[in-house]
Amino acid sequence: MNSPSTADLGPIPIKNVLVVNADPALKNLIASTLEPGTWALHYGANNELALNLARSKKFDLILTSEKTTGREDVELLAKIRRSRPHTRLIILTSESTPADVIAAMRQHAFSYFSKPFSSSTLAQMIRDAVQEPCWDDGIEVISATPEWIRLIARCDLKTADRLLQFLNEIAELPEPEKGQVASACREMLLNAIEHGAGLDPTKDVDIEYIRARRMISCRISDPGPGFTLDEIPHAAIANPADDPLHHIAIREERGMRPGGFGVLMAQQMVDQVIYGEDGNEVLLVKYLPSINAKSA
């Protein structure tokens, strides 16, 4: 028996996205990101109208206005949650504080971007939001202040990307320190999810982020059995001094993806990379020059 064709299955269901007070550039970005013919774009002039629309119609994705504050958009999200608890909402905002970002995480926003932000990063986050068939939050705030945050995150790569975007918004750091901390945290979080948890979405990683006046620390604990650095020949950190690419051949032999530079990169971007006794817990420490450090 032949498999039914797409035509035999009937028309593809149209999904709905609501965009609040978008400028032409954002409209073009969204239209070019979503698959043509499967999405209907709706527009609301402000948060009040967006709330009324969300109450009367189910939207598969909502993006807030770039012209509103983070606090206003979190309030909108909280109101939408009362009638549409599983709505995926990405906050775009002109004004933000770390407390606003934490509030958005508690309200289970899908993601959060304050101006200026990368159009390509936002486009990828929109794709992630619409491609997850059975989305749930995956990020649980255990305790949080702008200076000390503890989170539990599901062990999959898209959740990692969402978490890192939230943390990047919380980190009130000067450059180049902000980029260095973000890159180091990303490498260690991906290592924890991929190698510690084996990309098992039923498992979680524990993350603790502390912002002191002249120091940033990030602790990541995974559910794996742990390791020591001399037991991971597939990582660049274990390469012999006379063979800096030795790990590449080992990764190819084991059928592993290209990479293996995570620990080495993290060591170059922060001041200390400290492993716990069992090797499944890592602490990143970055000291901030007093001339650049912001008040915590």
Q: What is the pLDDT of residues 18-40, one digit of tens each?
A: 999 988 999 999 989 998 888 99
Does residue 95 share a domain with residue 184? no
- Assigned token pair, 93: 């905002």
Does residue 289 share a domain with residue 148? yes
Q: Give the best-scoring range by mean pLDDT among 31-35, 59-63, 256-260, 274-278.
A: 59-63
Does residue 205 share a domain with residue 106? no
Give the pLDDT confidence score for residue 37 in this predicted structure: 82
Provide the pLDDT confidence category of residue 270 given band limits of 50, 70 and 90.
very high
Does residue 163 share a domain with residue 120? no
The three-state secondary structure class of 14 is coil
Does residue 207 share a domain with residue 107? no
Does residue 170 share a domain with residue 207? yes
The whole-chain average pLDDT of the chain stands at 84
Q: Would the pLDDT of 262 be above 90?
A: no
Of 7-21, 83-97, 120-134, minimum mean pLDDT range:
7-21
Find the domain containing 114 and state its range: 1-135
Does residue 54 share a domain with residue 150? no
Choose the final residue of a domain: 135, 154, 182: 135
Does residue 154 share a domain with residue 261? yes
Does residue 126 share a domain with residue 9? yes
Does residue 102 share a domain with residue 8? yes
Give the pLDDT confidence score for residue 292 in this predicted structure: 45
Compute CA 212 distance to the chain's CA centroid, rounded to the nearest angstrom. 22
Question: In the chain, how many domains are there?
Answer: 2
Does residue 259 share a domain with residue 159? yes
Cα distances (angstroms) measured from residue 47 to each of 73, 99, 154: 8, 20, 31
Read off the CATH number of the domain in which 81 is found.
3.40.50.2300
pLDDT tens figures, 75-120: 999 999 999 988 899 999 999 999 999 999 999 999 999 998 999 9
Q: Exposed, middle or buried by CB within 10 Å (0-12, 13-18, 19+), for 65?
A: buried
Which amino acid would we find at residue 226? G
- Cβ atoms < 10 Å from Cβ of 196: 25
- Assigned token pair, 46: 């402000």
Give the pLDDT confidence score for residue 282 in this predicted structure: 93
Choose the final residue of a domain: 101, 135, 169: 135
Read off the CATH number of the domain in which 260 is found.
3.30.565.10
pTM of the entire structure?
0.83
Q: Exposed, middle or buried by CB within 10 Å (0-12, 13-18, 19+), for 81?
A: middle
More confident residue, 136 or 289: 289
Q: Would the pLDDT of 65 be above 80?
A: yes
Choose the final residue of a domain: 135, 156, 176: 135
The three-state secondary structure class of 245 is coil
Compute CA 139 distance to the chain's CA centroid, rounded to the nearest angstrom. 10
Q: Which of 88, 43, 92, 49 is nearest to 67 (CA)?
A: 92
Does residue 131 share a domain with residue 145? no
Of 6-15, 179-188, 285-294, minimum mean pLDDT range:
6-15
